[in-house]
Chains A and B, each alone.
Chain A
């Protein structure tokens, strides 16, 4: 329930690139562990960007597979998928080869995939695929340095992979608020039923308390049916886009990693960002069940990693991994020695 990782039970999780900053959330522990070289691979879940934002904030590869690619405990999720955070594209592909496949207990799980992602990252033909770049989707406020680094990385990848850029019209609705309304509108009722509220409020982590406060303050404006309608609209808008192009590239986040124990920034580059927060490009893929990946795009002047997000047509996780591999080869990413963290 946060774009950072900072809980009452386990404390503050920090970014190995700069321990004052967050590695992102909710899979922040995973991204720190992989980026710092503790383990080469850590699992993540992604219901609105939780794998991809983490990957972006720590310079990792983070794939949100197509919905249903990796089976969950049941098949009733609207947005959440499982995945992994890795340093290399080959690791990401091998993880997916191991984890994918149908399971009778998840009705959303996709049929078996009869090829190996690990081979496809070296062989899949992607030349000529059409790509739409969007710096802000028409609704987000993005740190100009982040956007410039991402546009540069997108240009390099388009050239290296032989993609064709198309500037087709695409002005999707901003899903941030609607997605949150659907996920959180019953939060108070659910927490009350589970016995967390009313007495446990003080035991909840600060970002979660903040969210509950927000939901209480805005209850009169919440219309779940209307929000569902907007997400249905988004599905059709994204379908229309993918009728014209094969790929969508955006920044993975709107900002650089922020303070480790802070709340989601409401202001970016001096402008109001409260309508979308740190990862407004994330939930598009969760709502529409498309695969999306964040790959390292470069570093800011302050030496912080920035991620490029690539989203593909549904079930084309292979295309994303192949592109990530081409990017990795064209401009390899590296990790500084993080020994200083231990000190």
Chain B
């Protein structure tokens, strides 16, 4: 499969037709989607019509955008013209067909990307894997018995299997980075506010994309970033292009802290060793300076969960899901609801907010002493495709940290973070390295990812 940048550059020069590009995507989808369940809605005629329009503009010598003719997947949480948004939920199965794009998709389409379909996600984004009562089990192309992660699991499976070079994701606690790690992709959670959302009242969620190459990730961000009047959290415009910073930014001498577990996570030793070795290679290749700081932040897992979920039962009762719809909820969501019910009496929302405020100050303290934080991207390797978040990792209790204990930190603090391929386990499953940067410095993360890609190129050595 061609990368997004290769495809767009060929289409812009008239050397590849957008229609061919779209057809190639559908060939791969035809070949492997039945097995992987990455896409849950598709529209080939609409995609080909959009492609023909791009080809006609190229033929007339008119300008086309930086994602010209690039087929993309859109996560089932973002509005996309012609498709329904179900958020993986039976309760939204009859939602109306979208007549408008989300602000994010609108920018991608304006850059002449072509949405070919909607990708599967865990129900309401509430899981680290992707299997829902409505759409079934989504599988990892590296090993279909395992999960591609969640909540953006369909997007990860679609890109890793070569159906499309880019698919959108959202990340409120790791939902772009964990799927990227589980499928050997590049997954950037940008700084909060970098890509505009539908409103500016979100505490944790950002939009982003899953990509195979760092250049594709950078080009996506160049297209998607920038302020929007309708999102009060959106950041001012940038004066540079990520795609250039990727090649030229000087980062030698930046100080980096490696942490195995942030003092609270239970991590699979093989995953840890692979991520740590990749970090060391990258530190050396990029000439970073390693520092040793005793960094033991608050474990945000429970507090972040409390803030998000304490009122779940009341909200779902108001929206009519409960009490009668319990059986229609996906298995992981039923499990979560039961956990909330069992622990509701212990959940103290103001106290949890206080802990998240503390975490913000702890992270600020860290970034006065160093520029980067590296950790494993996940606590474990890809687990069973239809399984629950492991409560035990490496024989130890992981119920207070789960599969992605390093995720929520940056969602709380609005920092950018990226997961890049770190290597493979003995049984051939991908592991991710997470790099966290200071706020607003996605350029540094992308530059580092590019240096890693050059120093230890990754590939997708399988056929699905």
Contacts and interface: CB of A to CB of B under 8 A. Distances in A.
Interface of A: 67, 74-76, 102-105, 107-111, 193, 228, 231-232, 235-236, 238-240, 242-243, 287-289, 313-315
A289 B235 contact: no
11 contacts: A104-B364, A105-B364, A107-B413, A108-B414, A111-B236, A232-B201, A235-B201, A235-B230, A239-B229, A287-B232, A315-B227
A242 B414 contact: no
A102 B439 contact: yes
Contacts of B228: 239
A243 B353 CA distance: 35
The 9 closest A-B pairs by CB, nearest first: A105-B364, A239-B230, A104-B364, A239-B229, A289-B232, A107-B414, A242-B229, A104-B367, A111-B440
Classify the secondary structure of A's interface with B.
loop
Given A105-B365, A239-B228, A315-B227, 18 more contacts: A75-B414, A102-B439, A103-B364, A104-B438, A105-B360, A107-B412, A107-B414, A109-B439, A235-B230, A235-B231, A236-B199, A238-B229, A240-B229, A242-B229, A243-B229, A287-B232, A314-B227, A315-B236
Given A74-B361, A107-B414, A288 B439 contact: no
A56 to B, nearest CB: 24
Nearest to A111: B440
Contacts of B356: 76
A102 B440 contact: yes
Contact of B357 (A76, A108, A240, A243): A76
A67 B232 contact: yes
Contacts of B353: 76
B192 interface: yes
Contacts of B232: 67, 235, 287-289, 314
A235 B200 contact: yes
A149 B413 CA distance: 45
A287 B199 CA distance: 12
A107 B357 CA distance: 10
B227 A235 contact: no
B463 interface: no
B235 A111 contact: yes
Most buried by B among A67, A75, A289: A75
B363 interface: yes
Chain B interface: which size bin? 20 to 34
A314 to B, nearest CB: 7
Contacts of B200: 235, 288-289
Contacts of B367: 104
Contacts of B350: 193
A75 B364 CA distance: 11
B361 A105 contact: yes
Contacts of B413: 107
Nearest to A243: B229
Contacts of A313: 229
B368 interface: yes
Interface in B392-420: 412-414
A242 B228 CA distance: 10
Contact of B363 (A104, A235, A240, A242): A104
B199 A232 contact: yes
B353 to A, nearest CB: 7
B439 A104 contact: yes
B199 A235 contact: yes
Contacts of B230: 235-236, 239-240
A194 to B, nearest CB: 11
Interface string B223-258: 000011111111110000000000000000000000
Contacts of B201: 228, 231-232, 235
Nearest to B358: A74
Most buried by B among A103, A105, A238: A105
A231 B363 CA distance: 30
Nearest to B315: A225
A238 B199 CA distance: 12
A76 B414 CA distance: 11
B354 to A, nearest CB: 10
Interface string B195-223: 00001110000000000000000000000
A277 B224 CA distance: 41
A107 B235 CA distance: 12
A313 B353 CA distance: 31
A257 B412 CA distance: 42
A75 B365 CA distance: 14
A110 B234 CA distance: 10
Nearest to B230: A239
B235 A104 contact: no
A75 B228 CA distance: 20
Contacts of A104: 363-364, 367-368, 438-439
B293 to A, nearest CB: 14
B344 to A, nearest CB: 18
Interface string B319-353: 00000000000000000000000000000001001
A232 B353 CA distance: 22
A75 B185 CA distance: 31
Given A238-B229, A242-B229, A315-B227, A110 B199 contact: no
A104 B368 CA distance: 8
A74 B229 contact: no
B86 to A, nearest CB: 22
Given A242-B229, A314-B227, A315-B236, A107 B199 contact: no
Nearest to A190: B350
A314 B367 CA distance: 27
Contact of B235 (A75, A103, A110): A110
Nearest to A233: B199
A33 B192 CA distance: 39
Given A107-B414, A235-B230, A75 B440 contact: no
A303 B229 CA distance: 39
A331 B191 CA distance: 44
Nearest to A109: B439
Contacts of A231: 201
A107 B360 contact: yes
Nearest to B236: A315
A312 B201 CA distance: 20
A41 B241 CA distance: 40
Contacts of A105: 360-361, 364-365
Given A239-B230, A242-B229, A74 B235 contact: no
